Structure 1
Amino acid sequence: MDTVNCQIAFSLELPKAFSSWDESIRKNWHGIRIPPSFGQKDNMRKAASWSPPNLGWLKLNFDGASRGNPGPSGIRYVIRDHTGAILGGGASRGRCGSKRGAELAGVAAGLDVAVAGVILRAEAVGKGPLSLVSQKADGQFSYCLPNYLSARATGSLNLGKDSIPSSVKVYTPMQKEPKFASSVYILGLEGISVGGQRLSLVKPVYNALRASFEEKMKTYAPAVKPASPFGDFQPCYQLSNITSVKIPIVTLHFKGNANFDVPAVGTLLQVSSDVVCFPFSPSPNDAVNVIGNVQQQGITLAFDNLNNRIGFGSGSC
């Protein structure tokens, strides 16, 4: 588990006796401990709250229930990252069994999905030893994510010492990653501009970014009507009967005078046929934020591990 930088947020204790099903779980998932009281009826009602995991970690929440104990049972589970984004989840009905068996089935199903997802991501472009680029890229790679609205656009992933195109001319140095996020790439953000106006990076940074964009939109697109928020994404705008709209450019200023202009498709995300939203959300840890795939669309990103830098260029997709 350490090689894919994943934490599963639960702790159970092992009893001395196991059913055959429990034993199979123990063999497949070392470290699961099941307390003797696990699965027993608890009539107490307790207030529950959810807290995010650290950057680079995942949290698995699971549940299982049995009508009659034993009786018809069911499970459900959800996997979230440090931003609270749901990366996977599921629910299913099971055969007649106990509450304890249902809880264990929820653990197993959630772990299977969580580990599969993390390994796939880690074996793509992460810095961990299992990643595709660590094994095949010879220290350099680049990629371009296509516009998700285009049915014909295709992206690209290039590996090796000749993989960085000449269109990449702006670079920012990679920052030293913390121990709890050793497989990710860290950049040093020095400032943010909206419509050419530099913001003060006073925490929480998200509040200043959102407020500035919302205020600028009143000048750039006064005819656009506001719409209801879409999850964490706000402000949102109604574009019925509007064929085009001018929006302020959001620029991220990184160390080394490297400026990254967020593409229009990453500045206002289409969430329905006639509604677009500002696709930024607050981070639980305001010291570290994630530049997501929405903001990377149409941009060539170059990762030069030989020279410890990351570059931006015009898109090749």
Structure 2
Amino acid sequence: MATPKTSLHLVVVLLLLSVSVSNAGHHRPRTLHVPVFPRDAVFPPPPVSTKRNGLLRQRLAADAARYASLVDDTAAASGHDRRLHSPVYTGIPFETGEYFASVGVGTPSTEALLVIDTGSDLVWLQCSPCRRCYAQTGRVFDPRRSATYRRIPCSSTQCRALRYPGCDVGVTGGCEYVIAYGDGSSSTGDLATDRLAFANDTCVHNVTLGCGRDNEGLFDSAAGLLGVGRGRMSISTQVAPAYGRVFEYCLGDRTTAASRTSYLVFGRAADQLPHAAAFTALLTNPRRPSLYYVDMNGFSVGGERVTGFSNASLRLDAATGRGGVVVDSGTAISRFARDAYAALRDAFDARAAAAGMRKLEREYSVFDSCYDLRGRPAASAPPIVLHFAGGADMALPPENYFLPIDGGRQQRRRTAYHCLGFEAADNGLSVIGNVQQQGFRVVFDVEKERIGFAPNGCAV
């Protein structure tokens, strides 16, 4: 349903004003903090086995489907704690590349693990009774047991704000939502409001969310999605009257329990960044307004700028909505336009050869630049820096781009190869994924139209 431009502002205002915040101390914190943990820290993966490469292929296949959903246009859919927090877990035990936020839903609260998704807006979770639900970790939310659950009527501004609104023709006359992703995943159910509880005993009331009755796709183990895109229905927009249009996260190393310092925070405390933080402009794509675009202008390998590709390859064409670089929490492996990726890979290979590193002849899954280090530390890999407009740089630690791959058994010993952890994008859209973001404090400051990166950001 098309909404006149003047009505959109009214929709936003009415939607945001309906949200209220409270906590046990009756003082509203200035920020909402959501702790984030790697998946392995909470759900230990199976022991290393000869099936590791099989699991890797499954995870990369799921990641490719996630990237497809971004490319496909149908994917749009005071002395007191001053932050709003939620725990975060990685998806490794569930063989996916996402990170999960732990949020309480309803009264009393039902804990829900929700995929943190900067690429979409709607907050939704599976609900009981369910016509079709996939297997999730933990109890499925039952709105009949929540004293604060309310269906939203079809005539509401929230319902009209949906891209594909529907209406229950039964007695309730409630609003129904349909959200479909480019990878074939989908969720359909009731649009409602309820309370969300965060880790610092802060509750956000009257949050608009989807109660999914028919769900399928690549959401195995997660209860649903926590949409933190730039749209009107996202949780970051809904809490903006209390916390401002700014949030940050730090996604820790998914393979170590030391990543319990990972977090997701909503609020202006994101300004309190170390001097090492670098900001670049946040761009807007009128055709994909929910995504977080940045003006990335190149790479360096071994201290030298990478050449041999067109700068237009990474540039957003606002007229057509094509191209550009998106910072995304749901995609694992970064993808760059094919000529840019090829130039980056060739520069890396040249530096590695000069350092005496042995490149393998074969490819591993999607990776076409792999090495047998033969006792060398992974830290000996040529350093890589991502460059953004305004002089902002993102110097990646080796573990963020030189990824260990199980090479199988040779001469009665298991070999561990390492591969350059990027892919080529053939669909125009480049993405900075969460593997490359690991350990960085990433700030999404919509108010000031900027995105910031600070290394070693999980130790805050």
- Give unpaired runs (5+ residues) of structure 1: 3-51, 60-90, 92-108
Residue 421 of structure 2 is aligned with which of 245, 261, 279?
279
292-301 or 273-282, which moves further after superposition? 273-282
Pairing 1:133–2:239 present: no
Instruction: Give the Cα–Cα distance (whole angstroms) in 2 for the partners of residues 256 and 312 of structure 1.
Output: 13
Residue 306 of structure 2 is aligned with which of 199, 206, 213?
199
1:303 is displaced (CA, Å) by 1.1
- Structure 1 residue runs of 4+, over 6 Å off? 115-119
Deviations 1:153-189 (A, max 9, x none): 221111111134322631101112241x221100011
CA contact (8 A) 2:378 2:399 kept: no
Change (3 A) 1:265 1:227: farther
Pairing 1:174–2:282 present: yes
Residue 436 of structure 2 is aligned with which of 281, 290, 295?
295
Pairing 1:309–2:450 present: yes
Q: Which residue of 2 aligns with 1:209?
A: 344
Give the number of the structure with larger relative contact order, counting CA–CA contacts within 8 Å between residues 6 or more apart.
2
CA contact (8 A) 2:277 2:455 kept: no
SS in 1 for 2:404: strand
Instruction: Give the Cα–Cα distance (whole angstroms) in 2 for the partners of residues 266 and 253 of structure 1.
Output: 16
1:110 is displaced (CA, Å) by 5.1
SS in 1 for 2:299: strand
Instruction: Give the Cα–Cα distance (whole angstroms) in 2 for the partners of residues 278 and 57 of structure 1.
Output: 29
TM-score between the two structures when normalised by the length of structure 1: 0.60
Pairing 1:235–2:377 present: no
CA contact (8 A) 1:227 1:238 kept: no
Q: Equivalent pairs: percent with the same residue?
A: 28
Deviations 1:255-303 (A, max 9, x none): 11111112211110122261211111111234x3000001101111111
1:217 is displaced (CA, Å) by 0.8
TM-score between the two structures when normalised by the length of structure 2: 0.43
Change (3 A) 1:243 1:162: closer
SS in 2 for 1:163: helix
Alpha-carbon RMSD: 3.4
CA contact (8 A) 1:56 1:184 kept: no
Change (3 A) 1:170 1:233: same
Pairing 1:158–2:174 present: no
Deviations 1:182-202 (A, max 9, x none): 211000112211111112332
SS in 2 for 1:153: helix
Q: Which residue of 2 aligns with 1:76?
A: none
Instruction: Give the Cα–Cα distance (whole angstroms) in 2 for the partners of residues 210 and 297 of structure 1.
Output: 21
CA contact (8 A) 2:351 2:382 kept: yes
SS in 2 for 1:274: strand
Deviations 1:111-155 (A, max 9, x none): 42249689945x332112222212225211111111123232221
Q: Which residue of 1 aligns with 2:59?
A: none
CA contact (8 A) 2:249 2:441 kept: yes
**Count of aligned pairs between the two proteins:** 220
Q: Give the AA of the match of 1:233.
A: F
Q: Which residue of 2 aligns with 1:185?
A: 292
CA contact (8 A) 1:141 1:304 kept: yes
